[in-house]
């Protein structure tokens, strides 16, 4: 069985290839059961253990195991750790064991970019990244695989983190800088990608300009939000999977308040991959994409890592 550590997993997952692998998997389809969640008691406090399986009949089977240990902060360890195991679905033979953290962060950015291929303007060049964490740091490279991004602004609730990420992007050759004023940065961006843990709206619909694409990566629980209901009212709304309507506060809360309905969702990412014409319809419309993640994406990129070569 192949064993890939974090660096080896990362080297085998370039963004252009990941985007195509996820696109193909969404078009082909696979079985994705609900995730299993277990509370595991420990002397230091409860640990949450998540099992996220997916498979294609006659193809590959995989499961991501995620451990969430909030008490790890006391000992300087990350609260979240994960691994991914890939099997041959025809005979159950294990094929590879990969770093789950790398798979999760990179496939998240790749899926975001895949949606932008269908939903952002083809001439989009200005990207605003809201957030400065691990996933946010990957967004510019992911989007470069689908759009000719020339300028990047970074905004974070902690200005020092935004400046640090902008500096790292400049070191990689990007024209990147910290956004000092979020409303102004939103108004000048062609694409806005939010990857935060916010529980309050950050990007407001009143700030969006015609032709903008808004990508929402955070808000993966009903209590979290990155945008307000006006963004949904002004834009055509798309989701990665139907689960988004039940998981994300960006949708759950407006639905609960009666200002947005599930019937207003235009298409899932699977439907966009199968019929790109369902995406952007004009240069001036505003598009909104809300993602909560899928084990389908994990399986697609884990298979890519297993089949590919470093730096491919």
List pLDDT tens digits, range 1-49. 999 999 999 999 999 999 999 999 999 999 999 888 888 876 666 788 8
Sheet of strand 2-3: strand arrangement: 2-3, 94-99, 80-88, 60-68, 47-55, 36-40
Residue 213 CA to residue 205 CA, distance in Å, equals 12
252 contact partners, CB below 8 Å, separation of at least 6: 222, 245, 246
Say if residues 6 and 99 touch (Cβ distance below 8 Å): yes
**Token pair 């019937």 in the structure block, residue:** 263
Q: Give the chain's domains with CATH numbers.
A: 2-103+296-307 (3.30.1780.10), 120-294 (3.40.50.720)
The pTM score is: 0.94
Residue-wise pLDDT for 135-178, tens only, equals 999 999 999 999 999 999 999 999 999 999 999 999 999 999 99
Q: What is the pLDDT of residue 40?
A: 83
Average pLDDT per 10 consecutive residues for the chain, totaling 312 residues: 96 97 96 89 76 95 91 81 96 97 96 98 98 95 98 97 97 97 98 95 97 95 94 97 93 96 96 96 97 96 88 44
Residue 260 CA to residue 219 CA, distance in Å, equals 17
């Amino acid at each position: 069985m192949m064993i890939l550590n974090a660096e080896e997993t990362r080297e085998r997952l370039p963004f252009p290839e990941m985007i195509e692998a996820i696109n193909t998997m969404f078009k082909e389809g696979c079985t994705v059961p609900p995730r299993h969640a277990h509370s595991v008691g420990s002397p230091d406090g409860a640990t949450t253990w998540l099992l996220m399986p997916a498979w294609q009949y006659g193809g590959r089977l995989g499961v991501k195991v995620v451990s969430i240990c909030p008490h790890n902060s006391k000992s300087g360890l990350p609260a979240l750790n994960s691994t991914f195991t890939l099997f041959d679905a025809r005979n159950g033979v294990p094929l590879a064991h990969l770093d789950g953290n790398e798979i999760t962060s990179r496939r998240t950015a790749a899926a975001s970019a895949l949606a932008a291929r269908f939903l952002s303007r083809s001439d989009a060049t200005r990207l605003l990244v809201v957030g400065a964490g691990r996933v946010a740091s990957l967004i510019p490279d992911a989007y470069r695989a689908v759009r000719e991004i020339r300028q990047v602004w970074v905004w974070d609730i902690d200005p020092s983190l935004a400046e640090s990420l902008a500096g790292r992007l400049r070191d990689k050759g990007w024209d990147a800088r910290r956004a000092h004023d979020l409303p102004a940065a939103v108004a000048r961006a062609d694409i806005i990608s939010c990857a935060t843990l916010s529980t309050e709206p950050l990007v407001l619909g009143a700030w969006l300009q015609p032709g903008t694409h808004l990508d929402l990566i955070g808000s993966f629980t009903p209590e979290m939000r990155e945008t307000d209901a006006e963004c949904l009212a002004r834009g055509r709304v798309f989701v990665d999977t139907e689960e988004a309507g039940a998981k994300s506060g960006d949708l759950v809360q407006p639905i609960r308040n009666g200002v947005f309905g599930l019937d207003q969702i235009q298409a899932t990412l699977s439907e966009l991959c199968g019929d790109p014409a369902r995406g952007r319809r004009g240069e001036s419309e505003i598009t909104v994409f809300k993602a909560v993640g899928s084990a389908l994406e994990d399986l697609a990129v884990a298979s890519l890592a297993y089949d590919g070569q470093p730096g491919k």
